[in-house]
Amino acid sequence: MMTAKVRLAEGATKTLDAMELENLKAGLRGALLMPGDDGYDQARTVWNAMIDRHPALVVRCAGVNDIRQAVNFARTHGLLLAVKGGGHNIAGNAVCDGGMLIDLSRMRSVQIDPAQRVAHVEPGATLGDFDTEAQAFGLATPVGVNSTTGIAGLTLGGGFGWFSRKQGMTIDNLLAVDVVTADGNFVRASAKENSDLFWALRGGSGNFGIVTRFEFQLHPLGPNVLSGLVVYSQKEAASALKKYREYARQLGEETTVWTVLRKAPPLPFLPSNVHGTDIIAFALFHAGDPKAGEKAIEPVRHFGTPLGEHVGVQPYCNWQKALDPLLTPGARNYWKSHNFTDLSDGLIDVTIKYAGNVPSPHSEIFFGMIGGATMRPAPDSAAYSHRNTLFVCNVHGRWETPAEDQKGIEWARGFYRESAAYATGGVYVNFLTDDESDRIKAAYGPNYDKLTAIKRKYDPQNLFRTNQNISPA
Ligand SMILES: Cc1cc2nc3c(=O)[nH]c(=O)nc-3n(C[C@H](O)[C@H](O)[C@H](O)COP(=O)(O)OP(=O)(O)OC[C@H]3O[C@@H](n4cnc5c(N)ncnc54)[C@H](O)[C@@H]3O)c2cc1C
């Protein structure tokens, strides 16, 4: 093996000699990859094509031993370190330039204990892996809406999806984790063991160690659920959003309806003359009896004059993949996000203004409705604090080429600036982009100081810094 020039956490570089690299490799069950090796480019590639980083070393882990070896090596040599689960993080926090990448994406086992209704999940599993195994027993826990997202990063930031109004955030269903900490120790964290670490991991992102196994509470769901889309012209968006606002205020917890404003994709249930025009779509999901669901979602059909609808009873796993075609990896993405407790008239005006002026046919403004069970825990019950949020808004700027970057970024920033007055001031940590270090405190909210103290205890040297970082200083 050759030598490797590596970047250190504090910015300098140093050269690792062949013996040091051979020793690392010899201790692994997985692979040590360097630029040019088979699998290197795959390991360093993440969902957002705007991120193009080249680590000097990739440890492609096969198990907990590999993770510990890699953590010990990185700490001993002072390396800049990144950790990759599903690689979906918009800021590109799964990968670094010049340092070491710990790649967990091959550790994808999901084991279900149907009697206890508990899932044991490895950190490279995707939401699709998780849902498929849990649904084999008619079980689920709330996770996100795109099946290729990693369970690890999603959970560590909080996690929400269609099932959240009924069963809470993903972290509200986390029972325990196994963690490799910065000192290379392997610890279990739960409400009873290392409870400070468990508190911090539920919303504190990747700051506190590498989770090697997640243990989730599961709940009966489906396997068939009422779900689908109702689509209107954006010309009706103002009145539709006002009706939606009233509807959201009295909606039961089994139902959720999200809304998105964008150009119509070529969906087969829409007339072809609607394709490519400005629409507002309502995506609905009912977590209970489909008959009761029909009643609950009926008002959505009367927010205006529908251009088309595709609503029916379908397997939950299919609905969990319904948005995948719009969210494929490899495009350039720039996001801006706010949390809202309501949709005020001013916010509706700004939304319509920007939705009518998207920088590309793939860009969109969406409001994910949470509330319900996500609001019940106290804001200081876990690191995730945004318990007052009813709508998580995300402006998805998305396009194909670098030439479109400036226009798309300015559009997303414009919406963000003009809608800020109506927002809570908090933001979901998992929706922060690369250039938003000034919003990290807003993402951790009133829990920031406690997180700093726990960071000092578990990672005083800030080994885990390629994330929305909580400085131990
Ligand atoms: C298309 C798309 C749709 C999305 N939809 C939703 C949604 O519906 N709901 C929602 O809540 N979020 C959603 N998200 C946001 C998602 O939660 C974040 O992007 C999350 O970071 C993805 O996790 P990952 O494992 O894929 O990410 P990665 O990029 O691999 O990692 C994210 C962060 O977590 C750290 N990390 C990863 N694994 C570990 C580990 N085992 N231990 C410690 N740290 C670790 C990484 O170092 C990094 O800092 C979506 C994102 C995308 C791109």
Q: Which of 89, 210, 321, 455 to mutate to test the pocket of ligand 1 (most atoms within 8 A of CB)?
A: 89
Cβ 236 vs Cβ 280: under 8 Å: yes
pTM of the model: 0.98
Please check the confidence at residue 170 and state whether its pLDDT lies above 90: yes
Please check the confidence at residue 327 and state whether its pLDDT lies above 70: yes
Query: What's residue 456's pLDDT?
Result: 98
Collect all residues with Cβ–Cβ distance below 8 Å to 7 and sequence separation of at least 6: 13, 56, 79, 80, 96, 97, 98, 99
Q: Which of 93, 103, 149 to mutate to test the pocket of ligand 1 (most atoms within 8 A of CB)?
A: 149
Per residue in 133-147, pLDDT tens? 999 999 999 999 999
Per residue in 307-319, pLDDT tens? 999 999 999 999 9
Mean residue pLDDT across the chain? 97
Among protein residues, the one whose CA lies closest to atom 38 of ligand 1: 85
Measure Cα distances from 389 to 88, 302, 443 in Å.
23, 26, 13
Query: What's residue 2's pLDDT?
Result: 85
Which residue in 453, 454, 471 sits closest to 462, CA to CA? Answer: 471
Alpha-carbon gap, residue 386 to 340, rounded angstroms? 10
Calculate how far, in angstroms, residue 206's C-alpha sits from the geometric centre of ligand 1.
10
Calculate how far, in angstroms, residue 130's C-alpha sits from the geometric centre of ligand 1.
14
For 314, phi then psi, to 5°, come to -145, 160
Which residue in the block uniquely carries the two structure tokens 């508990």? 118
Among protein residues, the one whose CA lies closest to atom 11 of ligand 1: 159
At residue 441 the predicted structure's pLDDT band, cuts being 50, 70 and 90, is very high
Average pLDDT over residues 152-160: 98
Please check the confidence at residue 5 and state whether its pLDDT lies above 90: yes
Which residue in 282, 194, 200 sits closest to 241, CA to CA? Answer: 282
At residue 1 the predicted structure's pLDDT band, cuts being 50, 70 and 90, is low
Query: What's residue 473's pLDDT?
Result: 86
Please check the confidence at residue 426 and state whether its pLDDT lies above 80: yes
Per residue in 349-385, pLDDT tens? 999 999 999 999 999 999 999 999 999 999 999 999 9
Cβ 316 vs Cβ 286: under 8 Å: no
Alpha-carbon gap, residue 418 to 153, rounded angstroms? 29
Which strands make up the sheet holding 174-180, listed edge to edge? 110-113, 118-121, 210-217, 174-180, 186-190
